[in-house]
């Protein structure tokens, strides 16, 4: 099955035309064509995306379905009046954008629409670190903080979608930072996202050396956030990704602090070694989202695919 996959992020849209073997879901999708598009204003950005799929489809065969993992908040609930739209996002100009409707109108094919982190979680479940795992959380820490969860073998949805990046955390001692979240100030995202690091220290995380005090504070908040989510959902596995979360030194520091953050409430996480088995890097590296979007498209054609 040939599908269109879109990882729609606040910084860039990653687009791919992929071939998925629906008869053997264990096979990694074959990416036939791929392009990264900077996220500008909605109209011009989506127009470039449309031209990519038209061109790639002419070369390799048109997509039979589309899977979109989108930055949010979004409305992923089929049948809702605002399904397929981006809601109250801090990304300027994108509030109310009908992303799914754009693809339906442009190509007339089925569209599966979910959060970017749910798509990444699906990718990890099908082909990455969470293969065979029934309950796990995928958390991305980068431009924002978001999480997708599998519970008893199914993606977790509710009235909308989980917003793990906006849980409340306890401030570190002597931390007077006002936060970077325009909605909640000092929520998880407001204290520990990439923009929070830049606002707090005056430099992007990529400009800070590994021994900069930013990383110890970042690990403190990540350990606290991971612990809170582990206590709420009791995952068997916790995957930490994203441009910030994917730093190997930060993963190590967070593992070291996680047992204390859990305070003995996870009897299987009392040492750094045990934390290292629970908290892992994505098995697909930076490809979790785009491959998961291909998986969403395949699911729209065959609900038993996963």
Confidence at residue 92, expressed as pLDDT on a 0 to 100 scale: 85
Q: Residues 161-183: pLDDT tens digits?
A: 888 999 999 999 989 999 999 88
CA-based Rg of the chain, rounded to a whole angstrom?
Answer: 19
Mean pLDDT of 77-88: 93
> Of 213, 196, 202, which is closest to residue 253 (Cα–Cα)?
213
Note whether 199 and 89 are within 8 A (CB).
no
Query: Do the domain assignments include residue 306?
Result: no
Q: Residues 52-75: pLDDT tens digits?
A: 999 999 999 999 999 999 998 999
Whether 89 and 221 map to the same domain: the answer is: no
> Of 122, 117, 116, 120, which is closest to residue 153 (Cα–Cα)?
122
Whether 153 and 217 map to the same domain: the answer is: yes
Query: Do the domain assignments include residue 213?
Result: yes
Whether 28 and 65 map to the same domain: the answer is: yes
Residue 239's region, left for phi above 0, alpha for psi from -120 to 50, else beta, is beta
- pLDDT category at 110 given cuts 50, 70, 90 is very high
Q: What is the CATH number of the domain that holds 268?
A: 3.30.420.40
Whether 198 and 277 map to the same domain: the answer is: yes
Whether 190 and 58 map to the same domain: the answer is: no
Q: Residues 118-129: pLDDT tens digits?
A: 999 999 999 999
Confidence at residue 10, expressed as pLDDT on a 0 to 100 scale: 87
* Structural domain span for residue 256: 129-282
CB atoms within 10 A of CB 153: 11
Q: Is 281 exposed, middle or buried (0-12, 13-18, 19+ CB in 10 A)?
A: middle
Mean pLDDT over each residue of the chain, to the nearest integer: 95
Whether 50 and 160 map to the same domain: the answer is: no
Mean pLDDT of 43-53: 98
Note whether 229 and 139 are within 8 A (CB).
yes
Q: Which residues pair with 279 in a beta bridge?
A: 238
DSSP per residue, 245-293: TT-HHHHHHHHHHHHHHHTTSSTT-SSHHHHHHHEE--TTGGGHHHHHH
- From residue 186, alpha-carbon distances to 124, 171, 179, 190 in Å are 29, 8, 4, 5
pTM of the model: 0.94
Whether 153 and 27 map to the same domain: the answer is: no
Whether 205 and 260 map to the same domain: the answer is: yes
Phi/psi at 25 (5° precision): -60, -15
- From residue 282, alpha-carbon distances to 36, 122, 123, 236, 237 in Å are 21, 12, 10, 15, 11
Number of structural domains, the chain?
2
**Share above pLDDT 90 across residues of the chain, in percent, rounded to a whole number:** 89
- pLDDT category at 303 given cuts 50, 70, 90 is confident
Whether 113 and 133 map to the same domain: the answer is: no
What are the respective helix, strand and coil percentages of the chain, to the nearest 5?
A: 40, 20, 40
Q: Kindly report whether the peptide bond that precedes residue 73 is cis, defined as omega within 30 degrees of 0.
A: yes
Q: How far apart are CA 125 and CA 231, in angstroms?
A: 21
User: Regarding predicted confidence, which is higher, 288 or 11?
Assistant: 288
Q: Residues 184-207: pLDDT tens digits?
A: 999 999 999 999 999 999 999 999
Whether 149 and 46 map to the same domain: the answer is: no
Note whether 149 and 235 are within 8 A (CB).
yes
Extract the tokens encoding 242: 């994203």
Q: Is 178 exposed, middle or buried (0-12, 13-18, 19+ CB in 10 A)?
A: exposed
Confidence at residue 306, expressed as pLDDT on a 0 to 100 scale: 65
Query: Do the domain assignments include residue 190?
Result: yes
Whether 183 and 58 map to the same domain: the answer is: no
First to last CA, the chain: 15
Confidence at residue 109, expressed as pLDDT on a 0 to 100 scale: 96
Residue 77's region, left for phi above 0, alpha for psi from -120 to 50, else beta, is beta
């Amino acid at each position: 099955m040939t599908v269109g996959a879109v990882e729609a992020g606040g910084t860039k849209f990653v687009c791919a035309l992929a071939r998925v073997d629906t008869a053997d879901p264990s096979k990694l999708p074959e990416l036939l064509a791929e392009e990264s598009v900077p996220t500008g204003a909605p109209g011009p950005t989506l127009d470039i995306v449309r031209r990519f799929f038209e061109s790639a489809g002419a070369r390799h065969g048109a997509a039979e379905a589309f899977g979109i993992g989108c930055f949010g908040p979004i409305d992923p609930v089929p049948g809702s009046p605002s399904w397929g739209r981006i809601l109250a996002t801090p990304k300027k100009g994108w509030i109310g954008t009908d992303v799914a409707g754009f693809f339906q109108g442009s190509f007339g094919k089925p569209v599966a629409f979910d959060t970017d982190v749910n798509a990444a979680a699906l990718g990890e479940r099908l082909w990455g670190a969470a293969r065979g795992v029934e309950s796990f959380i995928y958390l991305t820490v980068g431009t924002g903080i978001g999480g997708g969860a599998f519970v008893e073998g199914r993606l977790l949805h509710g009235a909308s979608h989980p917003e793990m990046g906006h849980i409340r955390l306890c401030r570190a001692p002597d931390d007077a930072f006002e936060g970077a979240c325009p909605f909640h100030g000092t929520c998880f995202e407001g204290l520990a996202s990439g923009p929070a690091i830049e606002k707090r220290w005056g430099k992007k995380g990529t400009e800070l050396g590994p021994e900069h005090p930013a990383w110890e504070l970042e690990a403190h908040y990540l350990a606290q956030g991971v612990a809170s989510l582990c206590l709420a959902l009791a995952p068997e596995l916790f995957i930490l990704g994203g441009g910030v979360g994917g730093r190997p030194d930060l993963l190590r520091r967070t593992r070291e602090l996680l047992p204390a953050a859990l305070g003995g409430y996870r009897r299987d996480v009392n040492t750094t070694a045990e934390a290292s088995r629970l908290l892992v890097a994505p098995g697909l590296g930076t490809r979790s989202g785009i491959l998961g979007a291909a998986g969403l498209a395949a699911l729209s054609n065959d609900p038993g695919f996963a």
